């Protein structure tokens, strides 16, 4: 309860301090993206963003500034691009807004930049809101559908909803400087039945968003940076948060959610050779050796190759092998108390365990198993005393304690780190890059701000993070980035463009009920995420299914048969493509973290009217039957249902499945996986 009150604060009858910057009418009609852009960013229009400049609201002064709106070259037939600029003739502050529209999904996204083109410092820039609008809607009670952020608990990413009656306010802000730590920067605002807007915030630090109902026909919505209050130096330019608005109408709220999921895959995710990527089926190297080993501090070249040989022998080779923390210098010096966590900054393979570096492992994976090789790094956190700390003390952001931040806000430091990490990847035959971030950076950023420049360190640090990742993706065109930050604590619109969370939470490893909840919550907005799979029992295994998976079972101990592992892998390969299709929750949005409930969801491919149902009866549930109502089927058609658990196939009318399909599981702690197709 304390966490909820601290990081997602719901205040009733809260007066609006500042009026919204612009106005948007929600009238039940499809949005014309080109018209929307020119209507809100054109000459004489009040733009849909806001800030304070010298303490004055931008809405009061920006209309007197020089304005341009220039169409830019597009890269896609469905794309529209514009650059809107607003320049203060008195101080030289220039505000740029890069606006992109996607006509196929009714999406408008933009990012805000500030530049000082004058010869003196600007006035203070503060309360920057990349979006700040009043949504005018028919008389109804809007509902906002949002989610928890990550807290390493069962309730990570749990779906939430709140009705916004006049006077109600919902405020969301993550903690500690990581974008999904305690709050989640994606939500769907249903302004009236059958119409709404999905909103995504792109800022990998501390963002803030507020939704407030001022009266029965208007919702004030803003989102942007949490802490910036700074003057810009002459010639200085900064970027701020990006924002995405996806407009939807017709059907229920899942119309918007599924359109947003598809938009992300089509236009805002990692593409290779012009196509959205499938993140791999990963396999670990027998994680969890006996003490004093920790993580992979006992791994050697020979052992890694032997494990790859064994997976190939039993037909269990993944698409990518995953080497996590502990492969670098000092991590295995147990006598001195060193381990994987207090040696970050020693980014050289341990010469005793890996005398030729990691390249023999990566090469063997590709040449002998047909798999790629991913390796864990945590370059932003630098433990004092490590090589990076000793050799480059001028690039460390320090606020006391044992850890520093490598200063990505410094262009020289960031360029050096980009080349250094890139060279390590190349020398060691590493195909995919896993970046962790086990530190809350907000206090360190704040401690390194200059007077009158609050938030500048964070802004430039986040800019440096994006530039670093973009460098790697450009240098290695087939690289994938796994975004980990103590699990899934840095998931936002910008990180999802460049990466995906393949270890989405540090919640208790392998605990199936929590894993079910995490899948269910994330699927409302994002299709690309994964977690670890430890056991072959269907209840456990299916709890970890997603668009990707990390097989963490052991091939060196008794207890589970490799034939069951192969069955589990084959089952996952069959269901995996459906996670890239449409998602429908079958268990509502109430609290689903208990051991006495069912949880079920549907994955549906509209193109061929096929899909699957995944359901779990938990250990303390007294219900053997559970009725679900499927979506998106054709009422007059019949569907063939095929169970993966031994039940005979059956044919059922689409209408009946949508009105109520009863699932039956005899035993508590059991699951169902049912595929369906139109006959």
Residue 638, domain CATH: 2.60.40.1180
Rounded to 5°, angle at Cα 222 from 219 and 224: 170
Asked if 505 and 518 touch (Cβ cutoff 8 Å), the reply is yes
* Residue 83: inside a domain: yes
Q: What is the 3-class SS of 450-461, one letter each residue? A: CCCEECHHHHHH
How far apart (Å, rounded) are the C-alpha atoms in residues 466 and 190? 32
Indicate the DSSP class of residue 280: P
* Residue 557: inside a domain: no
* Residue 540: inside a domain: no
pLDDT at 288: 80
pLDDT at 23: 77
SS3 617: strand
Asked if 208 and 224 touch (Cβ cutoff 8 Å), the reply is yes
pLDDT at 480: 98
193 shares its domain with 313: no
How far apart (Å, rounded) are the C-alpha atoms in residues 490 and 588? 26
Taking alpha carbons only, the member of 431, 436, 275 closest to residue 347 is: 436
601 shares its domain with 668: yes
How far apart (Å, rounded) are the C-alpha atoms in residues 659 and 609? 17
140 shares its domain with 242: yes
Structure tokens at 379: 């370059």
Here the CATH number for the domain that contains residue 377 is: 3.20.20.70
Alpha-carbon torsion angle 227, 244, 271, 35, nearest 10: -140
pLDDT at 21: 64
Asked if 493 and 202 touch (Cβ cutoff 8 Å), the reply is yes
* Residue 574: inside a domain: no
600 shares its domain with 475: no
> Considering its fold, how many domains does the chain have in total?
3
pLDDT at 145: 98
* Residue 498: inside a domain: no
DSSP result, 180-203: TBSS-SEEEEEEETTEEEEEEEE-
pLDDT at 289: 83
SS3 321: strand
Indicate the DSSP class of residue 305: H
**Any alpha helices (H) in 501-649, and if so which ranges?**
512-523, 538-543, 562-575
Contacts of 309 (CB under 8 A, 6+ apart): 368
416 shares its domain with 432: yes
How far apart (Å, rounded) are the C-alpha atoms in residues 99 and 72? 9
| φ and ψ at residue 544, rounded to 5 degrees | -100, 0
Q: CA separation (Å) from 366 to 220, 400, 430, 551?
A: 53, 43, 10, 18
371 shares its domain with 464: yes
Domain around 614: 582-678
How far apart (Å, rounded) are the C-alpha atoms in residues 62 and 157? 38
User: What are the b/e assignments for 296-335, b being 16+ CB within 10 Å?
Assistant: bbbbbbebbbebbeebeeeebbbbbbbbbbbbbbbbbeee
Cis status, amide bond into 292, omega within 30 of 0: yes
Strands 355-358 and 372-377: unpaired
pLDDT at 224: 98
SS3 476: coil
* Residue 515: inside a domain: no
3-state DSSP: the chain helix, strand, coil percent, rounded to 5? 25, 35, 40
240 shares its domain with 322: no
Contacts of 466 (CB under 8 A, 6+ apart): 204, 494, 498
93 shares its domain with 226: yes
260 shares its domain with 299: no
pLDDT at 15: 34
CA 346 to chain centre: 28
Here the CATH number for the domain that contains residue 91 is: 2.70.98.60
How far apart (Å, rounded) are the C-alpha atoms in residues 517 and 507? 11
Q: Which of 248, 272, 296 is the last residue of a domain?
A: 272
Q: Which of 479, 494, 519 is the last residue of a domain?
A: 479
Q: CA separation (Å) from 250 to 195, 198, 247, 374, 404?
A: 6, 14, 11, 43, 50
pLDDT at 7: 39
Taking alpha carbons only, the member of 587, 601, 588, 619 closest to residue 512 is: 619
How far apart (Å, rounded) are the C-alpha atoms in residues 540 and 309? 26
How far apart (Å, rounded) are the C-alpha atoms in residues 386 and 392? 10
301 shares its domain with 329: yes
* Residue 494: inside a domain: no
Structure tokens at 89: 């003739």
Strands 186-192 and 582-585: unpaired
Number of other CB atoms surrounding residue 237 within 10 Å: 13
Taking each helix axis from N to C end, the angle separating 456-475 and 411-427, rounded to the nearest 10 degrees, works out to 30
pLDDT at 22: 72
295 shares its domain with 266: no
- Which residues of the chain, if any, have pLDDT below 50? 1-19
* Residue 28: inside a domain: yes
86 shares its domain with 175: yes
Residue in this structure with the two tokens 């420049």, named with its chain if needed: 453
Asked if 270 and 499 touch (Cβ cutoff 8 Å), the reply is yes
Asked if 585 and 509 touch (Cβ cutoff 8 Å), the reply is no
Indicate the DSSP class of residue 607: T
SS3 3: helix
Q: Which of 460, 479, 498 is the last residue of a domain?
A: 479
CA 401 to chain centre: 29
Taking alpha carbons only, the member of 194, 184, 207 closest to residue 131 is: 207
């Amino acid at each position: 309860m304390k966490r909820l009150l601290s990081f997602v604060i719901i205040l009733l009858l809260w007066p609006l301090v500042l009026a919204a910057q612009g106005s948007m009418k929600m009238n039940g009609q499809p949005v014309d993206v080109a018209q929307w852009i020119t209507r809100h960013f054109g000459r004489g229009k009040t733009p849909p963003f806001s800030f304070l400049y010298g303490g004055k609201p931008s809405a009061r002064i920006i209309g007197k500034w020089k304005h341009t709106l220039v169409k830019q070259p597009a890269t896609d037939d469905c794309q529209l691009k514009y650059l809107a600029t607003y320049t203060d003739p008195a101080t030289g502050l220039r505000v740029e807004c890069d606006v992109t529209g996607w006509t196929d999904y009714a999406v408008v996204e933009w990012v805000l930049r500030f530049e000082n083109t004058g010869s003196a410092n600007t006035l203070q820039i503060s309360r920057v809101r990349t979006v700040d609008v009043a949504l005018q809607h028919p008389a109804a009670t809007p509902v906002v559908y949002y989610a928890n952020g990550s807290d390493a608990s069962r309730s990570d990413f749990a779906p939430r909803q709140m009705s916004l009656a006049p006077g109600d306010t919902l405020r969301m802000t993550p903690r500690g400087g990581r974008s999904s730590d305690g709050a989640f920067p994606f939500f769907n605002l249903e302004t009236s039945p059958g119409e709404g807007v999905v909103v995504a915030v792109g800022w990998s630090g501390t963002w803030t968003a507020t939704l407030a109902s001022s009266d029965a026909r208007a919702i004030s919505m803003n989102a942007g940076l949490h802490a910036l209050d700074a003057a810009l130096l002459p010639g200085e330019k900064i970027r701020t948060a990006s924002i995405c608005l996806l407009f939807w109408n017709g059907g229920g709220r899942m119309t918007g959610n599924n359109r947003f999921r598809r938009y992300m895959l089509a236009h805002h995710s990692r593409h290779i050779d012009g196509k959205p990527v499938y993140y791999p089926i990963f396999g670990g190297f027998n994680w969890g050796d006996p003490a004093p080993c920790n993580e992979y501090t006992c791994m050697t070249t020979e052992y890694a190759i032997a494990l790859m040989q064994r997976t190939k022998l039993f037909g269990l080779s993944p698409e990518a092998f995953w080497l996590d923390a502990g492969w670098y210098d000092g991590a295995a010096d147990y006598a001195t108390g060193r381990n994987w966590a207090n040696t970050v900054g020693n980014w050289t393979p341990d010469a005793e365990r890996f005398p030729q570096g990691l390249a023999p492992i990566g090469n063997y994976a590709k040449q002998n198993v047909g798999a790629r090789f991913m390796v864990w790094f945590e370059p932003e956190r630098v433990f004092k005393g490590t090589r990076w700390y000793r050799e480059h003390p001028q690039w460390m952001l320090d606020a006391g304690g044992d850890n520093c931040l490598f200063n990505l806000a410094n262009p020289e430091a960031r360029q050096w780190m980009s080349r250094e990490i890139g060279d390590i990847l190349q020398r060691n035959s590493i195909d995919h890059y896993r970046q962790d971030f086990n530190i809350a950076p907000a206090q360190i950023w704040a401690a390194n701000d200059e007077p009158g420049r609050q938030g500048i360190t964070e802004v430039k640090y986040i800019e440096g993070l994006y530039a670093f990742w973009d460098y790697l993706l450009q240098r290695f065109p087939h690289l994938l980035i796994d975004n980990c930050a103590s699990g899934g604590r840095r998931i936002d619109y910008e990180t999802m463009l460049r990466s995906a969370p393949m270890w989405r939470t540090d919640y208790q490893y392998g605990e199936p009920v929590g894993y079910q909840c995490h899948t269910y919550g994330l699927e409302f907005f994002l299709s690309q995420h994964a977690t670890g799979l430890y056991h072959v029992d269907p209840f456990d295994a299916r709890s970890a299914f997603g668009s990707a998976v990390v097989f963490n079972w052991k091939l060196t101990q008794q207890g589970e048969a490799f034939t069951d592992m192969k069955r589990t892998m084959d089952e996952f390969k069959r269901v995996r493509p459906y996670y890239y299709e449409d998602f429908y929750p079958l268990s509502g949005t109430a609290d689903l973290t208990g051991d006495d409930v069912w949880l079920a969801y549907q994955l549906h491919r509209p193109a061929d009217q096929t899909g699957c149902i995944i359901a779990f009866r938990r250990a303390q549930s007294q219900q053997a039957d559970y009725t679900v109502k499927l979506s998106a089927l054709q009422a007059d058609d019949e569907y063939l249902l095929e169970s993966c658990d031994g039940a005979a196939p059956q044919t059922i009318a689409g209408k009946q499945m949508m009105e109520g399909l009863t699932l039956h599981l005899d035993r508590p702690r059991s699951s169902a996986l049912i595929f369906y197709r139109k006959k």
